[in-house]
Amino acid sequence: MHERSIEEPILQVKNLKKYFPMGKNQILKAVDDVSFEIQAGKTLGLVGESGCGKTTCGRTCTGLYAKTDGEVLFKGKDVHALRGKERKAFTKSVQTIFQDPYASLNPRMKVGSIIAEGLRIHHMLGSKSEREEKVQELLNLVGLQSEHANRYIHEFSGGQRQRIGIARALAIEPEFLVCDEPISALDVSIQAQIVNLLKKLQMEMGLTYLFVAHDLSMVRYISDQVAVMYLGKIVELTSSEELYTHPAHPYTQALLSAVPIPDPDVESKRARIVLDGDVPSPISPPQGCRFQSRCRFASEKCREVEPNMKKIGTGHYAACHLL
């Protein structure tokens, strides 16, 4: 268990921008002035359709991508300015769980070696028996058996592979995990199992999560706070409870209306808000509010003036002229 206070933000993202030059003087503004923070031991869900910049945001927070502007502070230190020992300590503290464990785990290595790989990279190997013991401990921690260490990744189901991905990420005892759509490729019943496992591990180990997802269905069960992203911007940020009971931004309302409700009576009566068309290209986002081309409330002002993020309630922020 890490000894940090649960009140302290472990990650602070301030006005972060990540732009990609695309040639012909075009710029893809994947992340465009995004701010949020995550308290130690808590989870922020970062949600939006594919192409909204959420994965790029996660990768810029872990230092995998250089930033264009703004700041990412991990325990108060600028992630993109870390060098030498501090950089090494940071890469050990932060790990990523990927959407497709099959693509991110080496199919030619046995599971035991895959899990121990991080130990080798960070010079934490110890003796052979210590290593084997550690691998077994990790397999058991994620609900797998010790004998699975001698098998190959293709011998496992999607859910089991994701458990292996989690065991590998936890091997070097990180504090902060970026969960990059870890359940999107899994069946719904398996999604719940992985979310429950992540919650259990968080409680036992004091982990902090940035949980990236393309819809709001499972995010509720794991997140303390949720940030909704659209075309490189956060459009709404609040507690999970508030977001699901009082969604304020028209985009959040539309995303939420697509989440199935377990009660068949409620489900049959509820109105679904259909979003017209696809997400516009982030290379040439619409003028004014970026959501205006798909928003059912769009007015002249929305087509001309970009709304700023403003406080609309206790700990509740949204960017919309209607609010």
Residues that bind ligand SF4 (CB under 6 A): 250, 289, 291-292, 295, 297-298, 302, 307, 320-322
Q: Which is nearer to ligand SF4, 39 or 292 (CB)?
A: 292
Neighbours of 197 (CB within 10 A): 18
Q: Which is nearer to ligand SF4, 196 or 287 (CB)?
A: 287
Helices (H), the chain: 54-61, 84-93, 101-104, 111-121, 128-141, 158-170, 188-205, 219-222, 240-245, 250-257, 264-269, 300-304
The helices-and-strands tally (H runs, E runs) of the chain is: 12, 12
Alpha-carbon span 5 to 200, nearest angstrom: 19
Query: What does DSSP assign to residue 207?
Result: -
Q: Which is nearer to ligand SF4, 33 or 100 (CB)?
A: 33
Q: Which is nearer to ligand SF4, 167 or 302 (CB)?
A: 302
Q: Which is nearer to ligand SF4, 197 or 289 (CB)?
A: 289
Neighbours of 76 (CB within 10 A): 9
> Shortest Cβ distance from residue 31 to ligand SF4 (Å)?
19
**Alpha-carbon distances of 149 from 102, 169, 289, rounded to whole Å:** 16, 15, 51
Q: How many CA atoms lie within 13 A of 147 on its CB side?
A: 1
> Shortest Cβ distance from residue 322 to ligand SF4 (Å)?
5
